[in-house]
Chains A and B, each alone.
Chain A
Amino acid sequence: MSQGQTKLSRRNFLLAVGAGGAASAAAIVAKTVPQVEPQPAVTGEGKKKTRGYHASEHIRNYYRTAKV
């Protein structure tokens, strides 16, 4: 009988610890969520923004010579 009571009290203790932990975690998340700003998703596409291709005089000259 006493062994059964011990088991029960241990369960209650663990339940209480679990509930308390979850509550504190929820409180932390609630505090931090407003501070988090939405970040743009990083994907393989368009990772690099460069000056890149632009039809310069040099390139136009190349296209002209390639037409020969």
Chain B
Amino acid sequence: MARMKFLCDAERCIECNGCVTACKQENEVPWGVNRRRVVTLNDGVPGEKSISVACMHCSDAPCMAVCPVDVFYRTEEGVVLHDKDMCIGCGYCFYACPFGAPQFPQAGAFGMRGKMDKCTFCAGGPEKDNSKEEFAKYGSNRLAQGKLPACAEMCATKALLGGDGDVIADIFRDRALKRGKGAEVWGWSTAYGKPDKAQQPAPKGGKS
């Protein structure tokens, strides 16, 4: 079974915000909620890097672990979704997420934030696929239509890759081999786990 993943190639991202716009447009995301955003590291300094960030659909999702009402669930494709009907707006998921993915429509105290909203990998929610109710709460369900997330498909430089983890990892590996650098994928180890220490090569010489 394919596992859905996002991967952003920082060597290619030109900070155009096309992914952000595509997400907003596709899912009719309200003002104040940003399911996806572009972050620039060392902005203005030569060699700055931009990364498109949204929910990474973590393999061991911290939001899932901390939610007191268990709104999160993982689909067969590894997409982390949530049930807005059950959300109490406590904001624990927001504090737990290392990517700042959970968003709330209002600013306020406990229970005043409204229902949490986040990237759904364009896979909707627990309602019937592509129903009006699903669209109103979660946005478009492109995965059920045989498509990939709008942000990844929209990306002009193909910096943001989305889809079957095996396939996009192969695509990225080829790129890294061709250009001879840039194999460090930002956020990958945080979202999908670090390799076992036993598998890592032993450090060569000298004291660390």
- A contact residues vs B (CB 8 Å cutoff): 44-59, 62-63, 65-68
Q: Which residues of chain A come closer than 8 Å to B4, judged between CB atoms? A: 53
Judge whether A44 and B123 touch: CB under 8 Å. Answer: no
Judge whether B126 and A52 touch: CB under 8 Å. Answer: no
Select A46's contact among B74, B124, B148, B164, beta carbons within 8 Å: B74
Select A48's contact among B2, B73, B146, beta carbons within 8 Å: B73
- Give chain A nearest CB distance to B78 CB in angstroms: 9
- Say whether B163 faces chain A, with CB atoms less than 8 Å apart: yes
- From B70, which residue of chain A is reached at the shortest CB distance? A44
Select B73's contact among A45, A56, A63, beta carbons within 8 Å: A45
- From A46, which residue of chain B is reached at the shortest CB distance? B76
Q: Which residues of chain B come closer than 8 Å to A68, judged between CB atoms? A: 158
- Give chain B nearest CB distance to A31 CB in angstroms: 34
Number of contacts between A and B (CB, 8 Å)? 70
Judge whether A63 and B74 touch: CB under 8 Å. Answer: no
Q: Which residues of chain A come closer than 8 Å to B77, judged between CB atoms? A: 52-53
Q: Supply 10 further A-B pairs (C-beta < 8 A) apart from A48-B73, A50-B123, A50-B124.
A: A45-B73, A45-B74, A48-B75, A50-B129, A50-B141, A51-B129, A53-B163, A53-B164, A58-B147, A59-B163
A65–B171 alpha-carbon span in the complex (Å): 10
A66–B168 alpha-carbon span in the complex (Å): 8
Name 30 interchain pairs, CB-CB below 8 A, sorted by A: A44-B64, A44-B73, A45-B73, A45-B74, A46-B75, A47-B73, A47-B75, A47-B126, A48-B75, A48-B126, A49-B76, A50-B75, A50-B144, A52-B75, A52-B76, A52-B77, A53-B2, A53-B4, A53-B77, A54-B146, A55-B164, A57-B146, A58-B148, A59-B146, A62-B148, A62-B152, A62-B153, A63-B167, A66-B168, A67-B174
- From A66, which residue of chain B is reached at the shortest CB distance? B158
Q: Please classify the interface of chain B as helix (H, G, I), strand (E, B), loop, or mixed, using the class held by over half of its residues.
A: mixed
- A63-B126 contact given A48-B73, A53-B143, CB 8 Å threshold: no
Select A63's contact among B124, B129, B163, beta carbons within 8 Å: B163
- From B144, which residue of chain A is reached at the shortest CB distance? A51
A7–B182 alpha-carbon span in the complex (Å): 87
- B contact residues vs A (CB 8 Å cutoff): 2, 4, 64, 70, 72-77, 81, 123-124, 126, 129, 141, 143-144, 146-148, 152-153, 158, 161, 163-164, 167-168, 171, 174
- Give chain A nearest CB distance to B147 CB in angstroms: 5
- From A64, which residue of chain B is reached at the shortest CB distance? B171
- Give chain A nearest CB distance to B205 CB in angstroms: 38
A51–B147 alpha-carbon span in the complex (Å): 12
